[in-house]
Amino acid sequence: MLYQELQPVDSFKLKMASPFSDYDRQLLTLFYQPLIGPQAMSLFMSFWADAEREKENEFNHYYLMNLLTMPLGQVFEARISLEAIGLLRTYCRTVGDDRSFVYELLAPMDAKSFFDDPLLSTFLFSKIGEQAYRGLRNRFLDENLVEGTYKEVSRTFLDVYKPIRSGASEQVDETGDIKGRNESKGIQIAHSDFDFNLLRSGLSEQMVPKSSLASVSKELIEKLAFLYSLTPIDMQKVIMMALDENLRLPENRVRKAAVDYYKTNISQNVPTIEKVFTKERAIPIEEPKSREDKFIFYMENTAPREMLKDYTGNEPLPVDVELAERLVTVHGFPIGVVNVLLHYIIIRNDGKITKNYAERIASHWANKKIATAKEAMEISRKEHDQYIKWQNEGSKKSTSKRKPTRVEKVPEWFYQNDEEKVQQPVSDVDPSIDEKRRQLLEKLDAMRSGVK
């Protein structure tokens, strides 16, 4: 299901209406990083660096996988975390089989707006604890205003300027839109099912004037109801608690009343916000059971560069990385297919990757429309004899008529790993190759926890 949302070959461009400042960097690091985690933060900072280039560039998502050393699933989860917190807007366009994205970076909310938002401030409190939260809040307080030692004496615009009539009849051209600072508006509660009619029906005009209730934004009521699990009936009581002596509803009193009601009637513990989108809807992943399932899971969730590094234990050659990128970008293969192809050639060719041999097999797979790691493994088994012939055609040894003294080397997955299937004879396994396979399999469990 991930490939319905995103593929490595999908292209993207970056949009940022105005440069970010050092103040924005502080807000991102101190306020947002505890909420979104290091992976989403790394993705945003990478977007920020690329968006500041003078020339607009187009990238594909394979570039992000290599840059961040993340599988595609983790890149997608990091992206939707940025979207949910209000730091990124994503736009998609599909033309035929080609899909492209535009990622618009939004500047973080300023400190005051952040702490005034009940969802963001409570989310941060639950992540970093009371002591750190209070310290962070005090850091951004305006000490002069708190101490009350200063009063504002600034002149207004009308104090300084006044309009003067002119005899000229020229008009200013005001057509076209002006770019502004694309700042985050915070967490948006879309498609809320909160029943405002039920809330209003339980509040009489004598007790709560309609004008007072109208002064409280619907967004604030929705956020408080969501955060503290309040029903419209609960919210009626919160509104009654928040009324001041003039029957008005200042928003700070509404927020405080919601907190008091929650502590009195629901729980003394601060509410927490759990990420559930990817667990329930976006990328449902079944637990791999057999060794082959685990191998397929690894192949489909690991960048080719990392797969080559895991297998050889060394940094892959630049020419091999370029070949992997070509298979993704030119042939349009998913990551899993590229990994199986490279793995097959490494084993068949004593650890070496031959570009012409790889391109020939890739062309064959493209004609067969191979789209998954499992399909790639199956066609490798089915067409193995043909691939041996192609390899011999490109080898100087192809003229030799001697019969091989040992069975041709093939990957372990070539012999299907179910117990009822025939296994590769032990006597024909190169000990060094077998040790590398064992090390690779040991990394599968670690990779599983990193791509969920």
Q: Name the nearest CA neighbour of 341 among 372, 313, 312, 310.
A: 372
Q: Say what the pLDDT of residue 14 is.
A: 95
Q: Say what the pLDDT of residue 246 is.
A: 84
- What tokens were used for 146? 């708190």
DSSP-derived 3-state class of residue 265? helix
Angstrom distance (rounded) from CA 304 to CA 203: 62
**In Å, how far from its chain's centre is CA 80?**
5
- Give the DSSP H or E segment for 103: strand 98-105
Q: Say what the pLDDT of residue 39 is.
A: 95
CA angle at 433 for the pair 337 and 443, rounded to the nearest 5°: 60
Q: What is the 3-state secondary structure (H, E, C) of 144-186?
A: HHHHCCCCCCCCCHHHHCCCCCCCCCCCCCCCCCCCCCCECCC
DSSP-derived 3-state class of residue 92? strand
CA angle at 68 for the pair 63 and 71, rounded to the nearest 5°: 80
Q: Name the nearest CA neighbour of 110 among 52, 217, 185, 222.
A: 185
Kindly give the confidence (pLDDT) of every residue in the chain, 452 residues in length, as a single tens digit, with 9 standing for 90 and above. 566 788 888 899 999 878 899 999 999 999 999 999 999 999 999 999 999 887 888 999 989 988 998 888 899 999 999 999 999 999 999 998 789 999 999 999 999 999 989 889 988 998 898 899 999 999 888 665 555 567 778 888 788 887 776 655 555 555 566 566 666 776 766 656 788 888 888 888 878 888 888 888 888 888 888 888 888 888 889 888 888 888 888 888 988 888 888 888 888 887 776 666 544 444 455 556 678 888 888 888 788 888 888 877 788 888 888 888 888 877 778 888 888 988 888 887 777 888 888 888 888 888 888 888 889 888 888 887 787 787 777 665 444 444 444 445 556 665 554 444 444 444 444 555 556 555 666 665 555 554 44
Q: Say what the pLDDT of residue 193 is.
A: 77
Q: Say what the pLDDT of residue 51 is.
A: 92
Q: Name the nearest CA neighbour of 124 among 186, 43, 193.
A: 186
